[in-house]
Each structure stands twice: as structure tokens, then as C-alpha cells.
């Protein structure tokens, strides 16, 4: 699934470039391979997350968020993986759309959300294990927000800090405990099956670095 995310993003970003026939053929040859790897009828809520490394030569695993969008409703994976790979890369309003030159620095993660459970209260979940969805209503306005299971752990947040951050993320401007009672926050917890790959993993799989080949091809043309 992660390989499919890179594949559709590279194809989308490279579509505006004049690829050689051999590069275009190489891309299309893998279309069916990656598509077949996704069960045709499987459905699941999912999120696609793009992270970017600061430098290719860095030995650290330091990545920063570059885009993350998904759905809490079950969707057919055979079509939604492609859809959300592009939406999260190009239409996350928090970031500029990913550009082709950034692709070698990227890592993609696909999170399939499972084991939904209603919480007894807004702290009835475990940091590092559960993601949570909060829902509440104030003045007739409904608010909701979610964090995936890894968010609270990676940020070093407690349960209370996570809930407060989610309330802010939902768009509500009031204060938890003052303007909004914790008992009024409906909370659902869930877990996720998460897989990650880097662009280098994608290149190893298809056996060719499309971006490197395109750069070399463009350079050759420029010297002719």
C-alpha cells in the first residue's frame, strides 16, 4: 500500500514533465503490480501520512510532517489508497503541495484504523496504543477531531494534554474545564496497523530511480 502511494505521487508530479518513453513505460509497467497488492474488496478507515527528512545523507531518523489526511469511515482500499495518497500530499491546507524535487526526502505511512471502542470518559485510553476521536456540542455547534495513536507519544503529551490539544484542533475556542466540561466530551478510542516506506524503498522495489533518470535525461538533452 505504501509503495502504491509513492507510485501514484511520482506519476502525478512527473506528468507535467516530458518523460522519455522508457521512463513512462517503466512507470506504467508497475501500475498493475502495486494495484494487485491491495485486496480488491477490503474496506477500512485509513490515513496517509507524508514525512520529510531534512537531508538525504543524515543518519538520524528525524522527519517532519509534510501532510496527513484520511477518513474515519470505512473506504474501499483499492481506490482510497490512491485518493488519499494524493490528497494528503497535495491538498493538506497546513502545507504547500509537495513538489517533485522533495520526493527523494519523503517517507510515507499508511495507517489502517481498527478496534474502535467507546471510552468511559475522555481519559479512558492509553498513550502510545490508542488513537482517539473526540466529539462534543457547544451552543448547538458540533465539534470533532482525532489524533492517530502515535501522535501523543511522539509529542510527549499526557492524556489531558492530548485532549486539550484535540479540543483546540476541533476549532473550539473555549477552555476545557472552564467553558467545556470533560464529561461532555464523547470519546472513541482505536488502534492502527501502520506501515512505512521511504522513497529509497520504492526505488529498490521498481529497480529504477525515476527522478535520477529524468535528471540525467534532461542533462543529456541540454548538452546536445
What does pLDDT average to over the chain?
A: 88
* H/E element, 200: helix 199-206
- Whether the pLDDT of residue 31 is over 80: the answer is no
- pTM of the complete model: 0.85
- Do 63 and 102 contact (CB within 8 A), yes or no? no
Angle between helices 77-90 and 2-14 (to 10 degrees): 50
The pLDDT score that the predictor gives to residue 22 is 66
The pLDDT-based confidence of 216 (bands split at 50, 70, 90) is low
- Whether the pLDDT of residue 54 is over 90: the answer is no
What mean pLDDT comes out for the span 36-44? Answer: 87
Nearest one of 48, 49, 121 to 83, comparing CA atoms: 48
The C-alpha atoms of residue 105 and residue 52 are separated, in whole angstroms, by: 5
Q: Where are the alpha helices (DSSP H) in 38-124?
A: 77-90
Could you read off the pLDDT of 91-110 as tens digits, one per residue? Answer: 999 999 999 999 999 999 99
- Do 160 and 190 contact (CB within 8 A), yes or no? no
CA dihedral of 71, 44, 109, 18, whole degrees rounded to 10: -80
Could you read off the pLDDT of 145-170 as tens digits, one per residue? Answer: 999 999 999 999 999 999 999 999 99
C-alpha Rg value of the chain to the nearest Å = 20
Residue where the block lists cell 484504523: 113
- Residue 107 in grid coordinates: 517517507
Amino acid at each position: 500500500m505504501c509503495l502504491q502511494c509513492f507510485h501514484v505521487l511520482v506519476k502525478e508530479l512527473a506528468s507535467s514533465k516530458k518523460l522519455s518513453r522508457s521512463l513512462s513505460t517503466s512507470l506504467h509497467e508497475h501500475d498493475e503490480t502495486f494495484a494487485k497488492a491491495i485486496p480488491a474488496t477490503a474496506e477500512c478507515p485509513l490515513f496517509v501520512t507524508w514525512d520529510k527528512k531534512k537531508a538525504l545523507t543524515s543518519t538520524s531518523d528525524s522527519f517532519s510532517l509534510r501532510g496527513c489526511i484520511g477518513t474515519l469511515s470505512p473506504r474501499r482500499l483499492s481506490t482510497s489508497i490512491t485518493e488519499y495518497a494524493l490528497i494528503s500530499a497535495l491538498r493538506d491546507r497546513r502545507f504547500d503541495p509537495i513538489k517533485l524535487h522533495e520526493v527523494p526526502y519523503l517517507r510515507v505511512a499508511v495507517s489502517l484504523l481498527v478496534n474502535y471502542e467507546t471510552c468511559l470518559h475522555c481519559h479512558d485510553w492509553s498513550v502510545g496504543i490508542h488513537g482517539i476521536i473526540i466529539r462534543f456540542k457547544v451552543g448547538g455547534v458540533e465539534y470533532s477531531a482525532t489524533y492517530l495513536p502515535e501522535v501523543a507519544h511522539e509529542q510527549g503529551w499526557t492524556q489531558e494534554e492530548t485532549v486539550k490539544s484535540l479540543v483546540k484542533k476541533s476549532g473550539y475556542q473555549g477552555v476545557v474545564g472552564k467553558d467545556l466540561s470533560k464529561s461532555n466530551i464523547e470519546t472513541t478510542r482505536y488502534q492502527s496497523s501502520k506501515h512505512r516506506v521511504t522513497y529509497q524503498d520504492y526505488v529498490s522495489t521498481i529497480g529504477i530511480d525515476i527522478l535520477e533518470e529524468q535528471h540525467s535525461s534532461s542533462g543529456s538533452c541540454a548538452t546536445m
